[in-house]
Chains A and B, each alone.
Chain A
Amino acid sequence: MTDGTQAIRAIVNGQAVEAVVPIRMLLVDFLRERLQLTGTHVGCTFEGVCGACTVRLDGDAVKSCMLLAAQIDGRRVTTVEGLARGEEPHPLQKAFRDAHALQCGYCTPGILMNMSEFLERNPAPSETEIRAALVGNICRCTGYSHIVEAVKDAATNMRIVEGRAA
């Protein structure tokens, strides 16, 4: 098509999605406005530095404001709404609640999506590694200490669940 729109078919949070979108539509706008998945937030809106819009694209943590919705055709996207297993929150979500790792909560979905991939790749990270991994997510409440604690706790809890704890 060359009329500025494109048909897309993708899997979003495990569900098949079909839509015709303007090619210029950003993925974050598609998720929020078309699919009503408003857990994916818009912070910096343009530079791609705040990380609030982070989602998983075929497993990789990416910023959804830096992609066109048309680019997810044929791909799998997971947003924060798809992180929990039914009623059971993800270990990161539990740890964020328990460690008071959110104040206003605006940055939280992006951090959860980034850290969920990070912990899959690095199940036993050091504090330095966690801090380095959080570079792409800005928290304006500046509650980073509790966020780091929560990621640490989640890593520990996930290892216990999987029987990998020392």
Chain B
Amino acid sequence: MFPAKIDSLSRPKTVTEAAALMASADEGNVLTIAGGMSLMQAIKARVVRPGAIVDLNDIGELRGIKETASSVWIGAMTRYVELATSDVLKSGAFGALSDAASHVGDRQVRNRGTIGGSLCWNYVAACVPVATLALGAELELMSKSASGADETRVVSIDDFIIGPMETSRLPQEILRSVTLTGPGKRMGSAYRKWGHVTDSLPVVGIGVRVVLNDDRTCKAARVAIGGLSHGSQRFYEAERRLLGASSNPTAISDSFRSAAKTLEIQSDTLASADYRKVLIEELGTAVVLSAMTRAEEAVR
């Protein structure tokens, strides 16, 4: 058996119950498990040795995709396969998340892995954190106070993502949901990555959400990048350079080439820094053009 001894496994049915279990456990000794696609690797390698595990897989209220007039609510335990096949997310404003979820790992991983698990793990080269950063999501976190009251707080994805494998989630907090605002008028998003084998972890992954003016030029852009040593991060210089841009591949490519100078780009066993710069230019251009096309299709 690869994992170190685990004293207890709880399978709560509600978020409140899960939060109570987290509050009552010794800090540092308890971990929540979502799909387990990353955590189980760490447990098997004994990188982490939780004494207690709170399994979130039985909590129905943490699953699902619900559309309102001005936003989309996604339960934290919603699996990649559900994100990838959701009509709500398929195109237009939220396409970046669908793109990302459709190419995470493989079928077996997508059947099990969750949006919340990916965000809370925040691996240095993961797809969902990048797509979610591009979409500007809001995250709802829940915990139990010392007096036993439910405490909820909402943080923006920008404040949630701190660095590779680091988020602003407190150890006792449970991520409840991810809310995407929109779809707005002429809003479109997309995500693309490149890895060494099909659907592998990205050497570079880029997510973009654009809002277009009536003349189809870029009114607003959010760009996020993953695979660099700083982990999933906003790519502010690319955002700035995209303002006013039209769907001209050469100009967009030039923007990404120039903007890449503001990033810290490492050479490692996966790719050299120069190769990553080419990927940033190529993927950046493709992903912006795709987001712009989707924005034009979503005129409403």
Residues of A within 8 A of B (CB): 1-4, 6, 22-26, 29, 45-48, 51, 54, 60-63, 65-68, 70-71, 73, 114, 117-118, 132-133, 135-137
Contact = CB atoms under 8 A, between A and B. Distances in A.
A23 B57 CA distance: 16
Interface stretch (B1-9, B171-179, B220-228, B275-283): B1-9
A2 B7 contact: yes
B199 interface: yes
Given A46-B2, A61-B111, A70 B44 contact: no
Contacts of A6: 9
B230 interface: no
B14 interface: no
A29 B1 contact: yes
B123 to A, nearest CB: 13
A61 B8 contact: no
Contact of B57 (A45, A66, A71): A71
Given A1-B8, A23-B8, A61-B108, 18 more contacts: A4-B8, A23-B6, A23-B9, A23-B53, A29-B1, A46-B2, A46-B45, A51-B106, A54-B108, A62-B112, A63-B112, A118-B107, A132-B198, A135-B107, A135-B198, A136-B106, A136-B107, A137-B106
B36 interface: yes
6 contacts: A4-B5, A22-B1, A29-B1, A48-B37, A135-B105, A135-B199
A51 B197 CA distance: 15
Contacts of B8: 1-2, 4, 23
A62 B105 CA distance: 12
Interface of B: 1-9, 11, 36-37, 40-41, 44-45, 53, 55, 57, 105-109, 111-112, 197-199
Given A26-B3, A47-B41, A132-B198, A71 B108 contact: no
A63 B5 CA distance: 21
A6 B8 CA distance: 8
A3 B7 contact: yes
B106 A135 contact: yes
Nearest to A113: B108
B9 A70 contact: yes
Contacts of B9: 6, 23, 68, 70-71
